[in-house]
């Protein structure tokens, strides 16, 4: 019998980049004849039936098995995987640098700092470190992972394949120019810069234009309030926060977009860029982090955050049909290169390589590790049934459970 190849991660989200990749990996592994389960701390209710509780991982453990550990923030699931005897490959989705959340989300500052610190410990634990972009792979290499490579993100666009839902988006189907951004309303994505660039474009180039911002701000209400305040102070017209939308609504907003504008300063991959490629929307993006690699020579990259320069580029794309067509043709070619990457074959070659290589000596684990696991489970039982007693516990005792609460509230690293 071949070894089991299980995946472990903190949370499985619905419709996000990491969640789609995890499910895709499981499909490939099972089709190749491997037993493969997904062990998580939490999951979206729509995906819970596809997962196993991470606390059941020791019962499924065997020294010949392989764990594919998706790392975005440190978690109990991560630490349990660390302590087990399996060979391990870490799949790194990047962690947003904590400084982006200072004065906006103090708890996330701590979580991102601890996650980045914990990541370095896996260099001695893993046989292989995989980035879902070369940008992420280079970070693992710098941390001392002995072997690194790239497991390419090959996006699945099936969520955009159905009929677009124009029930709300139809209000923007007119002769105006629609500038679109898709992604969470969080500081590293620099929604404030997107608004500044749009303000310059709307004021100096085209007053018949609007900005459509699609994505949730849950957990980042302070940043959202700052954005609203900036819009009021600058008197920026026609900015629409559309929140989290369904897949068919998302398809409609892509259909109506004239330009996709990205100002993000930290991305591990940035799936909305290639979604825009797929939907034929010209992309204008800031050349930072993994974005140039994801764009792969397509779209337009800008290197300076000068509002008037970016506004002029938006105007060029929106008014020069030949230019827009050439941009879309370049994006089509980049997307074809991406889709021709052999995701399944690459994944299975990594698994075969892990099976063939000698196991590394397991780094030491705290002598009382499993006692701490038992104590943490007791804290979990206390939290929902006696919340007042849980809140009264010393922080040192309740810390792990409070970190779990933070993740349950939607707080995390860079999962795009």
Asked if 278 and 264 count as a contact pair (C-beta separation under 8 A), the reply is: no
Least confident of 63-67, 122-126, 374-378: 374-378
pLDDT value for 411: 43
Closest CA to 152 of 248, 249, 296: 296
Decide if pLDDT at 399 tops 50.
Answer: yes
- Same-domain status, 322 and 382: no
- Same-domain status, 332 and 350: no
Q: Is residue 57 part of a domain?
A: yes
Please give the structure tokens belonging to residue 22: 């995890």
Which residue, of 304, 339, 374, is where some domain finishes? 339
pLDDT value for 378: 66
- Same-domain status, 202 and 283: yes
Distance CA 388, CA 376 (A): 17
Domain holding 21, by residue range, is 5-154+343-408
H/E segment holding residue 88: strand 87-92
- Same-domain status, 213 and 314: yes
Q: What is the pLDDT of residues 145-200, one digit of tens each?
A: 999 999 988 777 888 999 999 999 999 999 999 999 999 999 999 999 999 999 99
Helix (H, G, I), strand (E, B) or coil at 362: coil
- Same-domain status, 96 and 37: yes
pLDDT value for 86: 93
Which residue, of 291, 306, 339, is where some domain finishes? 339
* Structural domain total, the chain: 2
Distance CA 159, CA 154 (A): 14
Asked if 287 and 310 count as a contact pair (C-beta separation under 8 A), the reply is: no
pLDDT band at 72 (very low <50, low <70, confident <90, very high): confident
Decide if pLDDT at 409 tops 50.
Answer: no
Decide if pLDDT at 381 tops 90.
Answer: no
- Same-domain status, 132 and 23: yes
- Same-domain status, 356 and 221: no
Q: What is the pLDDT of residues 294-339, one digit of tens each?
A: 999 999 999 999 999 999 999 999 999 999 999 999 999 999 999 9
Helix, strand, coil tally for the chain in percent (to 5): 50, 15, 35
Which residue, of 316, 339, 362, is where some domain finishes? 339
- Give the CATH number of the domain where residue 87 resides: 3.40.50.2000
Strands of the sheet with 259-262, listed across from one edge: 239-243, 209-214, 177-182, 259-262, 283-286, 300-302
Q: What is the largest CA-CA distance in the chain?
A: 68
CB-based contacts of 194, cutoff 8 Å, min separation 6? 181, 211, 213, 261, 262, 263
Q: What is the mean pLDDT of residues 94-116?
A: 92
- Same-domain status, 334 and 191: yes
Distance CA 90, CA 67 (A): 8
Q: What is the pLDDT of residues 14-27, one digit of tens each?
A: 767 788 889 999 99
């Amino acid at each position: 019998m071949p070894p089991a190849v299980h995946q472990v991660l903190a949370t499985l989200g619905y419709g996000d980049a990491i969640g789609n990749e995890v499910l895709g990996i499981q499909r490939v592994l099972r089709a190749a004849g491997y037993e493969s389960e997904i062990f998580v701390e939490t999951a979206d209710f729509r995906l819970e039936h596809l997962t196993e509780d991470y606390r059941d991982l020791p019962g499924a453990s065997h020294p010949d098995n392989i764990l594919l550990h998706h790392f975005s923030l440190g978690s109990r699931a991560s630490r349990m995987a660390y302590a087990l005897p399996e060979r391990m490959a870490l799949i790194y989705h990047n962690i947003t640098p904590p400084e982006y959340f200072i004065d906006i989300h103090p708890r996330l500052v701590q979580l991102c700092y601890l996650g980045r610190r914990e990541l370095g410990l896996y260099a001695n634990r893993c046989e292989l470190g995989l980035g879902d972009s070369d940008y992420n792979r280079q970070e693992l290499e710098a941390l001392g992972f002995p072997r690194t490579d790239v497991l390419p993100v090959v996006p699945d666009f099936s969520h955009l394949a159905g009929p677009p839902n124009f029930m709300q988006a139809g209000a923007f189907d007119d002769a105006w120019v629609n500038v679109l951004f898709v992604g969470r309303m969080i500081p590293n994505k620099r929604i404030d810069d997107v608004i500044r660039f749009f303000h310059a474009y709307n004021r100096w180039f085209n007053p018949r234009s609007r900005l459509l911002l699609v994505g949730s701000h849950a957990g980042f209400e302070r940043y959202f309030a700052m954005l609203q305040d900036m819009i009021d102070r600058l008197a920026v017209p026609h900015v629409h926060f559309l929140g989290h939308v369904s897949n068919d609504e998302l398809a409609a907003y892509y259909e109506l977009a004239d330009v996709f504008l990205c100002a993000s300063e930290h991305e591990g991959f940035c799936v909305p860029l290639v979604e825009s490629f797929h939907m034929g929307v010209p992309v204008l993006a800031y050349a930072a982090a993994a974005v140039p690699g994801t764009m792969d020579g397509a779209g337009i990259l800008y290197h300076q955050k000068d509002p008037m320069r970016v506004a002029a580029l938006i105007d060029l794309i929106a008014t020069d049909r030949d230019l827009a067509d050439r941009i879309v043709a370049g994006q089509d070619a980049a997307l074809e290169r991406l889709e021709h990457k052999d995701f399944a074959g690459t994944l299975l070659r990594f698994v075969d390589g892990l099976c063939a290589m000698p196991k590394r000596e397991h780094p030491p684990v705290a002598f009382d590790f499993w006692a701490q696991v038992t104590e943490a489970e007791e804290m979990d039982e206390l939290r929902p049934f006696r919340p007042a007693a849980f809140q009264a516990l010393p922080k040192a005792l309740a810390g792990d459970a409070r970190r779990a609460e933070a993740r349950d509230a939607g707080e995390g690293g860079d999962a795009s």
